[in-house]
Amino acid sequence: MTLTVRVISPKEAQSHLEALASILADCVEGGASVSFMPPFGQDEAKAWWPKIFASMRQGETILLGAFEGTELVGTVQLAPAGIPNQTHRADIRKVLVHRRARNAGAGAALMRAAEEEARKRGMTLLTLDTATGGAAERLYRRLGWTFVGVIPNYALYPDGRPCDTSIFWKAL
């Protein structure tokens, strides 16, 4: 099946609420350190996404989705800095790929599309943070992101273990 990645409008995002919640809940269940702790399931994920939809309507978040055919299997958020002296940069947030769609290029496709969208919007610098030592960190290194350093015990994994966090940047 062909994978496509594109920007999702706030209205379209709302129509994909079930899939968005499923992706987020699956990532947390799979052990990803993406801000949430158990118990966290479909209901909690569905309650979180409307905050992102509001942020999208305000222009504070750009959501990109990876689709296998018509099925949404992953997302990434591009968050412009939104302050006068940093209009050239954005943060990459919440790179989420459902476990059943991993290792098929969705993460890399989402990142490339986010970088391209940032370029289209005149941005020249992106930053992100990720759990140290995981598959996402290896992906960012493969895609040419520059490693800055590690912050020890920055967050927790869903099972409660401390999670070191690696910081990256990329010039566009």
**Contact (Cβ atoms closer than 8 angstroms) between residue 72 and residue 16:** yes
Residue ranges per domain, the chain?
A: 3-123
Q: Give the residue-averaged pLDDT of 22-33.
A: 97
CA dist., res. 102 & res. 96, Å (int): 10
Residue of 94, 80, 85 whose CA lies nearest to 172 = 80
How do strand 89-97 and strand 125-131 relate by DSSP bridges? parallel
Continuous segment of H or E residues that includes residue 136: helix 135-142
Task: List pLDDT tens digits, range 60-102.
Answer: 999 999 999 999 999 999 999 999 999 999 999 999 999 999 9
Q: Give the residue-averaged pLDDT of 112-119.
A: 98
pLDDT > 90: percent of the chain: 99
* Inter-CA distances, 51 with 6, 11, 21, 158, Å: 20, 13, 13, 21
| CB count in 10 Å sphere of residue 51 | 10
**Contact (Cβ atoms closer than 8 angstroms) between residue 14 and residue 63:** no
* CATH-assigned architecture of domain 3-123: 3-Layer(aba) Sandwich (3.40)
- Asked if the model's pLDDT at residue 1 lies above 70, the reply is no
* Inter-CA distances, 40 with 4, 28, 106, 134, 166, Å: 28, 7, 24, 21, 24
- Asked if the model's pLDDT at residue 18 lies above 90, the reply is yes
